[in-house]
Amino acid sequence: MKTNKRLKPFLLLASIAVLASCKTNKKAEQIDGVKVVSVNPDYFIADNIIGEITQKTVDLDGTPTLCYVFKTNSRPSEHQMGPWCPRHIDDAKEKGGIWFKDGNVYDVDGHFIAELADFYEDDQWKVFREDGSVKYTATQEECEGAAKPDVEEAYQNYCVECLPRYYKDQITTFTIPVTPVYTDREQRLGRGGLGVAFNGVNFDPPAPTHAILAAHTIAPLDDHGGHVNPHGGYHYHAATGSTKEVKQADVHSSMIGYAIDGFGIYALLDENKNQPTDLDDCGGHVDETRGYHYHAGEPGGNEIIKCLHGVPGSVHVQE
Ligand SMILES: [Zn+2]
Ligand SMILES: [Zn+2]
């Protein structure tokens, strides 16, 4: 693995194609009469895009569809990344990130690590040593042994963090329909990206907490809702208001990015701190100004959006 990583610039070994959609044979039916608004590529932070945003006709769900195609390093420019795992059970919350359970967000400080057995009512948790130091993945090898569905035995009971620099040359390619197509089908999210923030960072489907917790590991997000995975680099599982927002002329909440189907994603709360009350199962609704669009879930919900109502483009990560 390590050798390959060094040779990567020359060999361009692996390219993982991850479609946000689940493949089914039945084509989704477009529903007319639901207002849709085309993607505005100017909302993306130009410095975070590698090269230009181009247009290309791509086959989506069996239909040739004009798409925006662009590449990023999936790295934010508005905020630092990390920290994730505290180093000692006496560390304050500034030394760690956040974790979530049952819709609530918790600071991953030293105390949180020390109390995991109580938190999960499972005395097999012990992510620290007798001297109070936290067991965390300190190298790329350790992160790769722990940040996968079948966590290696050696990294059970670990706080998992992977550093952005391990994967700094990864390139993520987003393909998003120029004009979204609203369909009758609510498409479940796959393991690939569900969308992108204006800073070019991937919005990911829910973190696989079941597999993570089954191995007695936690993989904290930083305070901005992001962490690093070997197969996608830095990505968000929560919208925390840390990234570029596009304010609206009315009281509606600000826009924070696009879903992979081309519909806009907006913050949860409007100017008056109210939540929309008419969201569908995906987290979307329609209004006159914005057409169909999504609202990001609460940060503790581990779900930025729940499904897609449009025909999805794709996210490719070139490792
Ligand atoms: Zn993740
Ligand atoms: Zn709305």
Cα–ligand 2 centroid distance for 255 (angstroms): 9
Mean pLDDT of 281-295: 97
Domain annotation covers residue 39: yes
pLDDT classification of 188: cutoffs 50, 70, 90: confident
> Tell me, what amino acid is at 130?
E
Q: Are residues 65 and 33 in the same domain?
A: yes
| Judgement on whether residues 138 and 258 belong to the same structural domain of the protein | no
Q: Report yes or no on 86 lying in a domain.
A: no
Residues 276 and 142 in one domain: no
pLDDT single digits (tens) 309-318: 999 999 999 9
How far does residue 77's CA lie from ligand 2's centre (Å)? 26
User: What pLDDT was estimated at residue 26?
Assistant: 64
Predicted-complex ipTM score = 0.99
How close is the Cα of 43 to the center of ligand 1, in Å? Answer: 25
**Cα 230 to ligand 1 centroid, rounded to whole Å:** 10
Indicate whether 73 and 51 sit together in one domain. Answer: yes
How far apart are the CA of 162 and the centre of ligand 1, in A?
10
Residues 99, 146 within the same domain: yes
Q: Are 129 and 276 in a shared domain?
A: no
CB atoms within 10 A of CB 275: 11
- The answer on 152 and 110 residing in a single domain is yes
Domain of residue 28, residue span: 2-78+172-205+238-318
The closest ligand to the CA of 293 turns out to be 2
Over residues 34-57, the pLDDT tens digits come to 999 999 999 999 999 999 999 999
At residue 243, does pLDDT exceed 90?
A: yes
Report yes or no on 85 lying in a domain.
no
Residue 223 CA, distance from chain mean position: 14
Phi (first) and psi of residue 316, to 5 degrees: -115, 135
- Average pLDDT of the chain is 91
pLDDT, tens digit, 9 for 90 and up, residues 259-275: 999 999 999 999 999 99
Question: Across the strands, what pairs with 294?
Answer: 265, 284
Q: Residue 63 domain-assigned?
A: yes
Give yes or no: residues 269 and 302 share one domain: yes
pLDDT band at 187 (very low <50, low <70, confident <90, very high): confident
Whether residue 285 sits in one domain with residue 148: no
Tell how far the Cα of 309 is from the centroid of ligand 2, in angstroms: 15
Number of domains in the chain: 2
pLDDT at 315: 95
Strands (E), 158-247: 158-159, 171-177, 182-188, 195-197, 202-203, 217-218, 226-229, 233-236
Q: Which ligand has the nearest atom to the CA of 289?
A: 2
Q: Residue 297 Cα, ligand 2 centroid: separation in angstroms?
A: 12
Are both 268 and 253 inside the same structural domain? yes
